[in-house]
Structure 1
Amino acid sequence: MNNKLGWMLDDAMKMPETLYAILLSADGLLMAHSERISRDDADRNAAAMSGLQALARNTAEFCGETAENWQQTVNEFPGGYIFLVAAGPGAYLAVSATDKVDMEGVSSRLQELVQRLGNELTTPPRYAQQESGSLA
């Protein structure tokens, strides 16, 4: 992993009281991490967040929704929060924060970041190859 999207996560971490951010695939592979978290911790948390999103998506019918409509899960602990959001097809963004964080502010910032990440995660369409083998 070359962490080429790490700078985008670092940008999100400029919000007061945020701690760490990771971008992960649905199967728990680390795609990027903020600078403040070690690679080992980011890997371990990516695997855990994969399980968390799977649980959240599979409980969607409890509120009359389908798994495809899952958007965000927030876990609260005595000292803070974990925000887990869909970041594109098969990608998820997790951010941790202290209990003093502006929850609405973080949610808004994460949605902005998801828009930016979506542009980075989407592969541009390939041009059809011509018979000569060059790209059209």
Structure 2
Amino acid sequence: MTHNGALDWMLSEALAVPETLHAILLTRDGLLRAHSQGIARDEADRQAAALCGVISISRSTTGFCSHRGDGAEPTWRQTLIEFDDAFVLLIAAGDGSYLAVSATDRVDLEACGFRMQQLVERLGSAMASPARQDAGNPA
């Protein structure tokens, strides 16, 4: 399942918080599922691939936060990247999908994260990207 434009409209809701810039929905494989109007398709594709790597690295550090004593590692929920004058927020958005929003340094991070969570809760099943299945046919 890749980008076909059908889900682009839903990302405008994630940008309702002042100072947000762009939003993309990506799969666990780094494929673009949807992007907001303000970002070009090629740039959104590039960011989906890059952010997939960021999420993978973030998820692999859960052992660093392990504190329960039972050996269980915590579940990854979100990653925040901070720049001099901007942020990128990444959250899980349904089975095998992630939602990323960029914003200026003037954004209300709490409001932005809350809006993203609301969007995921409301549209989670549409955002899901189940793992690709091998059809058993040779390529």
- Letter of the 2:33 partner, please give it: M
- Letter in structure 1 aligned against 2:5: N
- Picking from 83, 86, 101, the partner of 2:89 is 83
Q: Work out the percentage of aligned pairs sharing the same amino acid.
A: 52
Partner of 2:20: 18
Residue 81 to residue 2, structure 1, CA distance change in 2 (3 Å): same
- Find the counterpart in structure 1 of residue 73 from structure 2: 66
User: In the alignment, which residue of structure 2 is the partner of 1:41?
Assistant: 43
Let me know the Cα RMSD of the aligned residues.
Answer: 1.5
Equivalent in the alignment of 1:4:
6
Deviation for aligned residue 1:122: 5.2
1:109 aligns with 2:119: no
Structure 1 position 71, deviation (Å): 0.3
TM-score w.r.t. length of structure 2:
0.83
**Does the 8 A contact of 2:93 with 2:128 survive in 1?**
no
What's the CA shift for 1:10? Answer: 1.1
Letter in 1 for 2:64: F
Q: Could you tell me how far apart the structure 1 residues matched to 2:21 and 2:73 are?
A: 31
Structure 1 residue runs of 4 or more that deviate by more than 2 Å after TM superposition: none
Relative contact order, higher structure (CA 8 A, sep 6+): 2
Bigger Cα Rg: 1
Q: What TM-score, normalized to structure 1?
A: 0.85
